[in-house]
Structure 1
Amino acid sequence: MKDKKIGTVFLVGAGPGDPLLLTLKAKELIEKADFIFYDYLCNPEILDWASNHCIKVYVGKIAGKAAYSQREIEQMLISKAAEGKNVVRLKGGDPLLFGRGGEEAEALKQSGIPFEIVPGVSSALAVPAYAGIPLTHRNYASVLTIVTGHEDPAKKSSAIGWETVAKLKGTKVILMGVERIGAIVSSLIESGMDPKTPLAVISWGTFPYQKVVESTLGDILSGTHSIFTPPAIIVIGEVVRLRKELQWFENKPLYGQRVVVTRTKEACSRLAKRLIELGAEVLEIPTIRIIPQPLDAKQKRILENIDAFYDWLLFTSPTAVDIFFDQFLQLENDIRRLGKVKLGAIGKSTARAIASFYLHVDVIPEKFTSMSLGECFYQRGIEGVRFLLPRSSLADDSLANVLKTQGASVDQWSLYAIEPETEDVRGHRERFKHIGAHWILFASASSVRYWHQLNLQCHDTSLIPKVVSIGPLTTKALKDFQQEVYVESKEHSIDGLIETLLQVVKQNRAGN
């Protein structure tokens, strides 16, 4: 009888918050994991890389309330590995820097469970960098001290000699100490530190809603400061003065702006990524899901010899492009079987989708609307010319009607249905109710319709976001729901929608 296979536990650093700071090895292990046990400070987006079969277990602690005790966590790691599972223990920052990773490694070793340690980018280093504070600098600091401000409450006395810490030169970084900042600063000043020493408190470092408060030891001691809440780190030393010159994160064009995106789940994620790169905090609240519709037997026969039936294919969305060519290539397995059929696209995004199949787009209107696409053919003489319009089940007949008035023969295929999105994987619907947003972006009339079906109401009416619309049809749908539109994009594309948001944010800041 073969010995039962034992799994491995990977003690993995999840980094400080920004998912892009996760190591490649950590990402690979998350993708392969059977179980992930994760902490409070692990960005939930990181868990998106887990497979569908992976079971994710929250074991974090917040405000002194722990989901599980440390011993219970260790026992779960041991138990699942003993079952032969690949286990990832995901810990904020680095697992061995004030992360109790050493204790968990000891428990695994004592139980005979194989383990590996995967270092992570520590918040002690990354968060000051995102705040524009270099921890070392030849003119200011050649020594760095990293201290925890939170110790085991069961200890009879503190192991931290604040008198010794105060006498150390250079920069001091204090983790998990913000709730005791008054007592810590008092100890440092009593031990000889100059009350004028610069200090910075950085909350939610590397997240889009990062906040930095600059002060001095003396001001903190006098109580003339904000109320700080965790998670936050404290940086003490002359290097803090460099932040005025070196801050960069807050200079991003959408920093401080909370934006709701309302497309499909996949499209929300793509748009969110672009907005986050520009500095925005994004609430992903998908309102619609795409349901591809199967082709009937007649449609399949047509695709097998498409240029015998149609002269033009006109696409009004990237989704229609992807679904049409997926169906086409399943039947033909050769894009050249399109023959002499010409292609038209409503706008740049749709044209890019077509180009991804190495195909040339023959017609793109200057204004990205269905009517404008149809009007492109006024000078072409299309009487008797055959058009196929692959589209959604909710698309209107405006494009077909414009073509028909010019004498064209038009067929419309409904390739996909649009249904309301029922899942809220990230919990952003509930978050929106509590914290609202500055902006909400709508990229289609269907997303408007299903957003209003959700009936999400902010608890505070001052948190209701301003509406940015991608174009006329979306604006009309918004007005049908008595929704005020703050601005409509001049270019009716996702690129145009983003550019419009950038412009109005810039204008509003200039006005203030």
Structure 2
Amino acid sequence: MYSKAKDGKSVARLKNGDPMIFARGGEELEYLQEKKIEVEIVPGLSSAISIPSLNKIPLTKRGVSSSLSILAGYGAGGKEPQWTGVGATAVVLMPVGNLSLVVEKLITSGKSANTLSALISSGSTEEEQLLISPLSSIVELAKVTGIESPSILVAGNVVNELLNIKGKTVAAFRPSNELERTRRLVEKAGGIPLIFEICDVEFSEYPKLKKALAKDWDYLVFMSPNGVRSASNLIDLTKFKTIAVGNRTKTKLEEHGCKKVIVPEQQSSAGVEELLKEKRGSALALRSPLAKEEIKGAENVTTYSIKLKNLSPIIDEYLSKKVDFTLLTSAGLLELLLESAKEKGKKARLTEKLNDSFVISIGRKTTEFTLTNDIWVNYELSKPSLESLFQRSVNE
């Protein structure tokens, strides 16, 4: 720039974003002024403020955040970043390659590990990807999803707004015995329910289930309330040590008189498997017929059957509606939907429609299956509980 300017040329230095925010604008200005070159700065629009706004994240909000810090994911020369006095909202540029350290620094600077964060890749482009997660799990989820640079990270309570379903349409594909519960939860949180009845759950005395329950087990493992209902028709559950995948299943067991129900710290299939390693006893896992993988460390048995509805009109209605949020509560049910859509030549449209909404996955297995089918997951529940999700909107 200097060599051309000293020859009397007018030189334009084009820069993405704002030339004075995490760019060389300040250094170049200082150098040129020292050389007596007249310089004009034309402000730009930094991704630090524009990308969050495009994703409806208010960086400041009355009663939520009155301070903002814009931080670099790397220090000078690639060294560890040095931050002090981080604001209520933190925006970190270039975080992905250094994400573990970025999260560690945010937490040591005062952010709670439960603080929601938004990782946004390729913002404002057709390739944009948005991932919401507590700081405690954003690093792991970034690896699972494969989110890449260029990206920014927004951390703070302002991110909670993205999970607020008030006035928004929430779609879900549910078995018949979960329809009303799901509808009530959405309505209580202020959302507009669009709940599709995808199948009936049928309970019967399966010979295999009855035979499996007749054996001497150290633990019975329940992966859903449906398993509790099925087994309770055949045995006295109070005579067994029980493990529940989550709190809702635990509550169902307690309704049947079970005491000291064990719930893994990580409420998921992986959490159950880790718990079984610790217990080292014989275990029977009562599973859904749609379960994608067996629980390792236990004998697995199907506890009920499902009867599918005609999925074609369900898919057509979903495609025709305005959908803000889509809840994916089962990898197995999603697989059936995609297979039906493929048979009708509508799989690409269904995938596109899902990606146009904010997709919420109930857990890691569902997340992984969803991603393998080119459907992006925006948020994964830390616990397999719709109640915890919708409580956020109630509290907003």
**Length-normalised TM-score, structure 1:** 0.40
Q: 263, 266, 272: which is aligned to 1:373?
A: 272
- Which position in structure 2 is the counterpart of 1:388? 284
Q: Report matched runs for 1:402-417 at 5 Å.
A: 403=297, 410-417=298-305
Q: 266, 277, 294: which is aligned to 2:205?
A: 294
Does the 8 Å contact 2:222/2:245 carry over to 1?
yes
Q: Residue 276 of structure 1: CA displacement?
A: 0.9
Q: 379, 385, 389: which is aligned to 1:487?
A: 379
CA 1:354–1:258: 2 relative to 1, 3 Å: same
Amino acid at match of 2:283: F
Does the 8 Å contact 2:209/2:303 carry over to 1?
no
Q: Residue 441 of structure 1: CA displacement?
A: 0.3
- Which position in structure 1 is the counterpart of 2:324? 438
Q: Residue 483 of structure 1: CA displacement?
A: 0.5
Does the 8 Å contact 2:362/2:384 carry over to 1?
yes
Gap regions ≥5 residues in structure 1: 1-252, 329-334, 404-409, 507-512
Does the 8 Å contact 1:363/1:376 carry over to 2?
no
1:379 and 1:481 map into 2 onto residues whose CA distance is 34
What number of residue pairs does the alignment pair up? 227
Does the 8 Å contact 1:349/1:494 carry over to 2?
no
CA RMSD, 1 decimal: 3.3
Q: Residue 265 of structure 1: CA displacement?
A: 2.2
SS class of match (1:473): helix
Does the 8 Å contact 1:442/1:470 carry over to 2?
yes
1:431 and 1:392 map into 2 onto residues whose CA distance is 27
CA 1:469–1:315: 2 relative to 1, 3 Å: same
Q: 285, 297, 309: which is aligned to 1:421?
A: 309
Q: Residue 322 of structure 1: CA displacement?
A: 0.9
Match status 1:452 vs 2:338: yes
- Which position in structure 2 is the counterpart of 1:310? 217
- Which position in structure 2 is the counterpart of 1:260? 171
CA 1:273–1:462: 2 relative to 1, 3 Å: closer
SS class of match (1:285): strand
Q: Residue 294 of structure 1: CA displacement?
A: 3.4
SS class of match (1:294): coil
Q: 337, 354, 357: which is aligned to 2:253?
A: 354
Amino acid at match of 2:174: R
Amino acid at match of 1:386: S
SS class of match (1:468): strand
Does the 8 Å contact 1:441/1:469 carry over to 2?
yes
CA 1:420–1:483: 2 relative to 1, 3 Å: farther
Does the 8 Å contact 1:392/1:416 carry over to 2?
yes
SS class of match (1:263): strand
SS class of match (1:272): helix
1:299 and 1:289 map into 2 onto residues whose CA distance is 19
2:169 and 2:331 map into 1 onto residues whose CA distance is 22
**Length-normalised TM-score, structure 2:** 0.50
Does the 8 Å contact 2:253/2:261 carry over to 1?
no
Does the 8 Å contact 1:438/1:463 carry over to 2?
no
Superposed CA deviations along residues 83-122 of structure 1, whole A, max 9, x for unmatched, are: xxxxxxxxxxxxxxxxxxxxxxxxxxxxxxxxxxxxxxxx
Q: Report matched runs for 1:2-151 at 5 Å.
A: none
- Which position in structure 2 is the counterpart of 1:332? none
Amino acid at match of 1:345: A
Q: 300, 323, 327: which is aligned to 2:234?
A: 327
Gap regions ≥5 residues in structure 2: 1-163
SS class of match (2:273): helix
Does the 8 Å contact 1:371/1:398 carry over to 2?
no
Using the aligned pairs only, state the percent identity.
19
Q: Report matched runs for 1:239-254 at 5 Å.
A: 254=165
- Structure having the higher Rg: 1
Q: Residue 327 of structure 1: CA displacement?
A: 3.1
SS class of match (2:233): helix
2:319 and 2:260 map into 1 onto residues whose CA distance is 43
CA 1:356–1:486: 2 relative to 1, 3 Å: same
Amino acid at match of 1:265: S
Q: Residue 284 of structure 1: CA displacement?
A: 1.3
Q: Residue 291 of structure 1: CA displacement?
A: 3.5
